[in-house]
Amino acid sequence: MRKPFIAGNWKMNMDSASAVSLAQGLVNEVGQCDGIDVAVCPPFVYLPAVATALSSSNISLGAQDVSEQANGAFTGEISCAMLKDVCCTYVIIGHSERRHVIGEKDELINKKIVAAINGGLLPIFCVGELLAERQANKTTTVVAEQVKKGLAGICSERIQAVTIAYEPVWAIGTGINATSEQAQEVHAMIRGLIGKLYDKTIASQMRIQYGGSAKPSNTAELMSQPDVDGLLVGGASLKVADFAAMVKTSFETKGVK
Ligand code: 13P
């Protein structure tokens, strides 16, 4: 049985006061949730303040990126040890905006995933196709390639740390989510691929989140799909009521009771 996992990616939003207030609001609404994992991923600079706000709750903290380097002359970068130091459990790696806006390649993403696992963080590894790739019927090829390259060299003992997030690029921030059938199809393909790369047990334990215009109104439908184990939420994670509703609905749909 996979425990559902709902994570909020705050992206480059909030200021210190609104970040703390959002975290406190979530603690009040869903802070004692059991049977479902919940995480928020604020911008780096607000991690310590949000960690304090979350400290009495079951909500975990995550970062939105990490360096593949351990330390040294890498101006502007943040290491795994630094994220651990400010109480991060999770780190998003390979987000579409880092791939397509900042230009991160699969090889770098792989190094970051390896560094995160070695550093004791749990990576949320993002994959997803562009609209043109979907229209050209290349979704399976593109996503499978991203999964294989991102997880290259990661052994069976370490892969358990990873959550995969399927985020079709055309669904991110557009208000147009993948239909539950589209999401299920890709999630099942990813799970099948994990089964081939590792084994059936690992595949059956791997949590695969969906991301891309997930919101309260489509949560039940998406979460009711057999291979959708959670959500990586952007815009809707910035509102206490919306994100809390998504956590509650996900728990009702799939929570481990
Ligand atoms: P939206 O939920 O705003 O579409 O963003 C999804 C996302 O990119 C989460 O990582």
Helices of type H across 139-228: 139-150, 156-159, 180-197, 200-205, 216-223
Over residues 197-208, the pLDDT tens digits come to 999 999 999 999
Name which residue sits closest to atom 5 of ligand 1, judged by CA: 234
Whether the CB-CB separation of 7 and 64 falls below 8 Å is answered with no
* Ligand 1 center to 135 CA (angstroms): 21
Q: Which two tokens stand for residue 19?
A: 């970040």
When pLDDT is averaged across residues 194-219 and rounded to a whole number, the result is: 98
Which pLDDT score is estimated for 137?
Answer: 98
Q: Is the dihedral of CA 188, 60, 169, 158 positive or negative?
A: negative
Give the pLDDT band of residue 190 (cuts 50, 70, 90). very high
* Ligand 1 center to 211 CA (angstroms): 6
Which pLDDT score is estimated for 28?
Answer: 98
Nearest-angstrom CA–CA distance, 55 and 17 = 17
Does the predicted TM-score (pTM) go above 0.85? yes
The catalytic residue positions are 95, 167
CB-count burial class (<10 Å; 0-12, 13-18, 19+) for 202: middle
Query: Which residues have CB under 8 Å from 6's CB, separation 6+?
Result: 36, 37, 38, 39, 209, 230, 231, 233, 243, 246, 247, 250
Over residues 152-178, the pLDDT tens digits come to 999 999 999 999 999 999 999 999 999
Q: Which two tokens stand for residue 104?
A: 């991160």
From 11, 99, 169, the mutation candidate for ligand 1 (largest count of ligand atoms within 8 A of CB) is 11
When pLDDT is averaged across residues 243-253 and rounded to a whole number, the result is: 97
Nearest-angstrom CA–CA distance, 139 and 144 = 8
**pLDDT of 257 strictly over 90:** no
Atom of ligand 1 nearest to the CA of 235: 3
